[in-house]
Structures are given as C-alpha cells and as structure tokens.
C-alpha cells in the first residue's frame, strides 16, 4: 500500500503528540555516525573553548613577560649608564692621581736632586732654562724652542768619575710610570740643548718604567732613573759626554 500525503500528515501529527517516537524514528532513519554527530560537535565546541582559554592564558603570560622584559631592558640601560659614569669618574680620578703623583715626583727631583743623582754627580743644582734662553732662541726653530721649554727639569753638576771635569747638564723628563714616549722626549730635548751646550745627558725618571721604555732607553743611550737606580748611565756618558 502506497504512503500518501495524508499518511505523512498523520505521522507528523503522531510524532508531535508522542515525542518518544521521534527518538525511535530518528534511530531507524539515521546512521550511528550521524546520531553521534551532535555529541562530536559539542565535544569540539568544548575543546575549542578550552583552547581559547589556554590561548588567552598564554597571551596574558606573554604580556607579562613582555612587561618584565621592558623593565629589565630599562634596568640594564640604567645600569649601563651608571657603569659608564663610574668608569668616567674612575678615569678622571686616575688621571688626577697620575697628575698629582707626577707633580709630587717632579717636586721631589727638583728639591732633592742630590738624593736622586748625588751618587753619580757632585755640585748638583737645578737651573732654569732661562740661563741659556738667548742661545736657544738664536739656534733653534720656533717649534724646537717651544718644545725644549717643555722639559720637566734641568740640572747641572760634575761627574763624580771626573771631579775636575767640565759642567754637565741633565735634561730630565719625569713621569710616575716612564714609557717610551718619555724616553723619546728626553732624547729629543737633550739633543736640542746639546746644540748650545754640548755636554748634556738625557734622563727619563720615574717610580717605574715599562719594558718599552727600557728598550728605548737602551737603544737611544738615555739614562733611565727608577726607584733610585740609574740604568744605562755609563753608556749614556760614553755616547753623550766622552764623544763630545
């Protein structure tokens, strides 16, 4: 017997009146997979919700990390600035200390010249370059003249090995730590003075000397005076005095 429209309407009416029949009819008409689909969709929705919650937590944590990193960056920048300031302050302190030590050492050589060179020379005295000012000015170029007047200390005396010998000049460069530049300056300025007074010895003096200073002093026949001891004295006398 054919299923008519009237039969369909009757079925709809019955299903609306008997809800439990709808479930039975659904199980007859739909596959197990389709019947399970609502549960699957619901599970997926719940999983999506959990994923979104986890993502929100991750984003919150990332935001906190970003904020912490920003604070850390600011702290590092501040620390870098403070370290730079401390380094600059320390450099200024070191420069000042070095300058004061150099001035103190120069004062010691100027006022206690015998204490440093007395065992090598007699009748020692500190003299001013003004005593040979005119001779230097007429002999040297303007640049050489300015350079020689930057000499730290000039002294005269007689070599103890030649008590009746002529007056010898000491052209002394003074630094707390003698380096090759100090040696070069002593040699250069002694060479300039030698043009008007041939008996002159270049001296680089200080508390201690670098290895480069020792090498330069040896190569250039410059007296190296450190801690009360004179190095290369004999070779300097031979090169600068005895050969004149």
pLDDT digits (tens, 9 = 90+) for 62-95: 888 888 899 888 898 898 888 888 888 888 877 7
3-state SS, 134-148, equals HHHHHHCCHHHHHHH
Determine, yes or no, domain membership for 33: no
Residue 168's CATH number: 3.40.1350
Angle in degrees, CA 120, 241, 220, rounded to 5: 90
Confidence (pLDDT) at 1: 58
Whether 26 has a pLDDT exceeding 70, the answer reads no
Confidence of residue 39 (pLDDT cuts 50, 70, 90): confident
Q: How many domains does the chain have?
A: 1
Provide the 8-state DSSP code for 53. H
**Structural domain for 232, as ranges:** 112-242
Confidence (pLDDT) at 53: 83
Paired tokens of 111: 């006022």
Determine, yes or no, domain membership for 20: no
Determine, yes or no, domain membership for 187: yes
Determine, yes or no, domain membership for 74: no
Confidence of residue 17 (pLDDT cuts 50, 70, 90): confident
Q: What is the pLDDT of residues 93-147, one digit of tens each?
A: 777 777 777 778 888 899 999 999 999 999 999 999 888 999 999 999 999 999 9
- Cα separation of 222 and 243, whole Å? 15
Which among 187, 228, 227 is positioned nearest to 204, based on CA atoms? 187
Q: Counting beta carbons within 10 angstroms of the beta carbon of residue 157, is it exposed (0 to 12), middle (13 to 18) or buried (19 or more)?
A: buried
| Highest mean pLDDT, choosing among 24-33, 100-109, 231-240 | 231-240
Confidence (pLDDT) at 105: 87
Confidence (pLDDT) at 58: 84
CB 200 within 8 A of CB 187: no
Determine, yes or no, domain membership for 192: yes
Helices (H), the chain: 5-17, 19-29, 32-111, 113-117, 133-139, 142-148, 180-194, 211-220, 233-237
Range of lowest pLDDT (69-78, 99-108, 174-183, 215-224): 99-108
Residue with tokens 């052209």: 171
Confidence of residue 184 (pLDDT cuts 50, 70, 90): very high
Whether 196 has a pLDDT exceeding 70, the answer reads yes
Determine, yes or no, domain membership for 85: no
Determine, yes or no, domain membership for 24: no
Q: Is 182 helix (H, G, I), strand (E, B) or coil?
A: helix
What does the pLDDT average to over 177-202? 96
Confidence (pLDDT) at 59: 85
Whether 33 has a pLDDT exceeding 70, the answer reads no
Residue with tokens 């320390």: 90
Confidence of residue 7 (pLDDT cuts 50, 70, 90): low
Residue with tokens 């005295």: 125
Confidence of residue 28 (pLDDT cuts 50, 70, 90): low
Instruction: State the CB neighbour count (10 A cutoff) for residue 192.
Output: 20
Determine, yes or no, domain membership for 3: no
Confidence of residue 3 (pLDDT cuts 50, 70, 90): low
């Amino acid at each position: 017997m054919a299923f008519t429209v009237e039969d369909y309407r009757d079925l709809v009416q019955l299903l609306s009146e008997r809800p439990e029949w709808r479930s039975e009819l659904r199980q007859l008409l739909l596959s197990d997979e389709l019947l399970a689909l609502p549960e699957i969709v619901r599970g997926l929705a719940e999983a999506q919700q959990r994923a979104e919650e986890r993502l929100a937590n991750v984003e919150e944590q990332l935001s906190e990390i970003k904020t912490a990193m920003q604070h850390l960056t600011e702290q590092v920048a501040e620390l870098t600035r403070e370290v730079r300031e401390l380094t600059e302050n320390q450099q200024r302190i070191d420069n000042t200390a070095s300058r004061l030590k150099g001035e103190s050492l120069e004062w010691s050589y100027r006022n206690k010249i015998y204490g440093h060179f007395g065992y090598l020379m007699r009748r020692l005295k500190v003299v001013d370059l003004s005593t040979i000012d005119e001779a230097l000015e007429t002999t040297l170029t303007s640049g050489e003249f300015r350079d020689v007047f930057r000499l730290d200390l000039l002294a005269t005396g007689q070599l103890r090995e030649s008590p009746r010998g002529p007056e010898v000049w000491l052209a002394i460069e003074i630094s707390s730590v003698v380096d090759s530049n100090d040696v070069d300056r002593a040699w250069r300025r002694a060479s300039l003075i030698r043009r008007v007074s041939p008996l002159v010895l270049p001296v680089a003096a200080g508390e201690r000397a670098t290895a480069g200073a020792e090498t330069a002093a040896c190569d250039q026949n410059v007296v190296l005076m450190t801690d009360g001891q004179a190095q290369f004295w004999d070779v300097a006398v031979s090169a600068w005095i005895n050969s004149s």
